[in-house]
Copies of this chain bind each other. A is one copy, B any other.
Amino acid sequence: MPNPAYVAVDWGTSSFRLWLIGADGSVLAERRSGEGMTTAAKTGFSEVLAGHLAAISAPAELPVIVCGMAGARQGWVEAGYIDVPASLSSILSGAVSVPGESRDVRILPGLAQRDAAAPDVMRGEETQLLGALGSASKGMQSVCMPGTHSKWVHVSDGKVIGFSTFMTGELFDAITKHTILTHAVAGAEDQPADAAAFEAAVATAFKQPALASNLIFTARSGQLLHGISAAAAQAKLSGTLIGLEIAGALQNAGKDAAITLVASGRLQTLYERAFHTLSLAFNAIDADAAVRGGLSAAAQAIWPN
């Protein structure tokens, strides 16, 4: 087994993921927990990290590189934002040291778009982006990172020129849990997914985004009048929100940009299906591999061998 070289941490709002990385770049150990920023702000960031490092018997001198919400104002140590337009490599130089730790712990900054008409921020996705594209990517690229707050980043020759957040995942949750659609989707998890309903909704919302809040209601009225299943109602909602997101993102992107999807699991499946439905070509990159790649690039820049 290679010697451990550093520890990489993706510290989100509600999730914590840690990898022990070997000198050859391989993953020697992994930890996942729900101790995201919200939890760690109460129990202590230093204590959460120390617990996981002890669990994998990390050597005392081993440095730690962190991305995500641990660097937010309400996080561990504020790591600020790099303003766009910015080169992908500029986030490597913005890392902030955590004072008072016995080992070298650095937190990467986020990205901010201070445009008055389209203010936007990200934390964590900039590191995924660096891992997905590398710091020397060429041409125009639109990178889609789906999630609670989906990010679409527009990159030109390795420089982030702008980005947009779409509240797709959070809207899906709020609508299924706290509106009349709660009845329509009840029991969907016990039914097979309705791919046809999803694809139809993606296509309709992409073509007629102005009708989004009406299309969402048809998940309910379709059940009342046509008896559509809970799975179909859920697929209609999910497809409408994703179709709306892609329509908006491409409007910001320009038609010639190459699309890269950075996702994993269920979201990867849904977005791939949406892109196929819309006949949009794309490259897919695993989200976990991307964030590890970005943290690895940062570790190598900060602690060159």
Q: Are B226 and A119 in contact (CB under 8 A)?
A: yes
A167 CB-CB contact with B under 8 Å: yes
Stretch with Cβ within 8 A of B (4 or more), from A19-27, A58-66, A240-248, A270-278: A240-248
> Which residues from B are CB-within-8-Å of A166?
213-214, 217
In the complex, the answer to whether B116 meets A211 with C-beta atoms within 8 Å is no
Question: CB distance A210 to B114 under 8 Å?
Answer: no
Q: Which chain B positions have C-beta within 8 A of A180?
A: 149, 167, 170
Contact between chains at A179 and B167 (CB < 8 Å): yes
CB interface residues, A 154-196, toward B, < 8 Å: 164-168, 170-171, 173-175, 177-180
Residues 78-125 (chain A) with a chain B CB within 8 angstroms: 112-114, 116-121
Contact string, A249-292, partner B, CB cutoff 8 A, digits 1/0?
Answer: 00110000000000000000000000000000000000000000
Query: How many copies of this chain does one complex carry?
Result: 2
> Are A217 and B165 in touch, CB under 8 angstroms?
yes
Task: State whether A225 touches B174 (Cβ < 8 A).
Answer: no
**Nearest-Cβ distance from residue A249 to partner chain B, whole angstroms:** 8
Is B224's CB under 8 angstroms from A171's CB?
Answer: no
Contact with B along A203-234 (1 / 0, CB 8 A): 01000111111101110011011100000000
Q: Known contacts being A211-B248, A213-B245, is A218 close to B118, with CB within 8 Å?
A: yes
Residues of B within 8 A of A112 (CB): 225
Residues from chain B with a CB closer than 8 A to the CB of A177 are 178
A residues 34-87 touching B (CB-CB < 8 Å): none
Q: Is the CB of A248 within 8 A of B178?
A: no
Interface size, A (range): 35 or more
Given known pairs A175-B174, A178-B174, the reply for A167 and B210 (CB within 8 Å) is no
* Complex alpha-carbon distance, A34 and B165, angstroms: 39
CA distance A167 to B114 in the complex (A): 31
Known pairs A210-B251, A212-B248, A225-B119; A217 contacts B114 (CB<8 A)? no
Q: Determine how close the nearest CB of chain B comes to the CB of A150; give it in whole angstroms.
A: 8
Whole-angstrom distance between the Cβ of A202 and the nearest chain B Cβ: 13
Contact of A213 among B120, B168, B225 (CB under 8 A): B168
Since A149-B180, A164-B211, A210-B247 are in contact, a sample of 17 more A-B pairs with Cβ atoms closer than 8 Å, ordered by chain A residue number, is A114-B226, A121-B221, A149-B217, A164-B214, A165-B214, A165-B217, A165-B221, A166-B214, A167-B179, A167-B213, A167-B214, A170-B180, A174-B174, A174-B175, A211-B251, A213-B245, A214-B248
A sample of 11 cross-chain residue pairs with beta-carbon separation below 8 angstroms, ordered by A number, consists of A149-B180, A167-B179, A167-B216, A170-B179, A171-B179, A171-B213, A208-B248, A208-B251, A209-B209, A209-B210, A210-B247
A residues touching B (Cβ–Cβ < 8 Å)? 112-114, 116-121, 149, 164-168, 170-171, 173-175, 177-180, 204, 208-214, 216-218, 221-222, 224-226, 241, 244-245, 247-248, 251-252
